Amino acid sequence: MFDELVAEADAVSVDGWDFSWLDGRATEARPSWGYQRLLGERLGLVRAALDLETGGGEVLDGCPALPPLTVATESWPPNVPRAAARLRPRGATVVATAGFPFADNAFDLVSSRHPVTTDWREIARVLRPGGSYFSQQVGPASVFELVEFFLGPQPEEGRNSRHPDRAVAAATQAGLEVTDLRSESLRTEFFDIGAVVYFLRKVIWMVPGFTVERYRGKLRELHELIERDGPFVAHTTRFLIEARKP
C-alpha cells in the first residue's frame, strides 16, 4: 500500500494552484474572513488591478468581475500558460515575471494570495495614491509539525520569519499605512501518505529539495504512523493584511 500511494502522488501533475486532488485525502480549515470574496468586492470598486504570483489564475478567476485593466504576474513557467488560458478570456493580461515591470502609480489595487515574498517598496511604487495592497499570507511556523517531522526542530528565526508584525513593519517602512490585520491558526489533517507527498511536491518551500527518493525512509515512517494512529495533524497559520498608499 505504501509504494502504491507514494507512486501515485509522485506521478500526478502539481502545476497550477488547484488542490482538488487532495479531496478526501487531506483537509485544511479556511480562514473565517473569506479572502476571495473580499478580493472580489475590492476588484469591483477599482479600474486598474495587479495580482502578483497568480499561480494558475484560479483565485482571480473566481472573482465575479475584473476591472477594465487587470494584470496578473506569474514566474513559475508551468503556471504561465494555465493562467493565460484562464484569465485572458476575461480580459486580463498575464505577464511572465517575478518582478515589477510596471510604471509608477499604475494600479488602484495590488493583491496577492500566499506570496513567497513581498516586495513592499515596489508595491508602494506601483500603487496610485489612495490605492491599496490586499493580501492573504502564510503566517509563522505554518504546518511546522510536518516540516519538523522531515527536517527536525527548526530555529526560532525560521519559525517566526513570516510573522505578521514583520509585515506591518516592512509595509510602514515602505510608506504604506496598514488598515487591516487579522491572523488565524487552522487545523490541517493528512489522511494518507500520498496526500503528504503531493503537498510537499506542490508547496516546494516547506521541505526544500523534497523528493520521494530522498525522503523515502521518513515517508515510510510517517505512513506507518498514520496507519496506526490516524490522520497526521498539523496547523496552518494565515494572516490577512491590507495597506493603503497615502
Structural domains for the chain: 2-244 (3.40.50.150)
- The parts of the chain modelled with pLDDT lower than 70 are none
Judge whether 118 and 241 are in contact, CB under 8 Å.
no
Residue 117: predicted pLDDT: 93
Determine if the pTM surpasses 0.75.
yes
- Give the pLDDT of residue 17: 73
Residue 188 pLDDT:
97
In the chain, helix, strand, coil percent, each to 5?
Answer: 35, 25, 35
What pLDDT is recorded for position 85?
A: 97
Which strands sit side by side in the sheet containing 127-138, from one edge to the other?
26-28, 177-190, 232-244, 127-138, 107-113, 48-51, 69-74, 93-96
Q: What is the pLDDT of residues 75-118, one digit of tens each?
A: 989 999 999 999 999 999 999 999 999 999 999 999 999 998 99
* Average pLDDT score over the chain: 96
Residue 139 to residue 32: CA distance in whole angstroms: 15
Q: How far apart are CA 145 and CA 34, in angstroms?
A: 25
Instruction: Find the DSSP H helices in the chain.
Output: 2-11, 35-43, 58-61, 79-87, 120-126, 144-151, 156-159, 164-173, 193-202, 216-229
- How far apart, in whole angstroms, are the C-alpha atoms of residue 45 and residue 24? 37
Cα-flanking dihedrals φ and ψ of residue 36, to 5°? Answer: -60, -40
Radius of gyration of the chain from its Cα atoms, rounded to whole angstroms: 19
> How far is Cα 206 from Cα 144, in angstroms, rounded to an integer?
8
Report DSSP letters for 215-228, one per residue. THHHHHHHHHHHHH
Spell out a b/e string for 47-70, using b for 16 or more CB atoms within 10 Å of the CB, else e: ebbbbbbbbbbbbbbebeebbebb
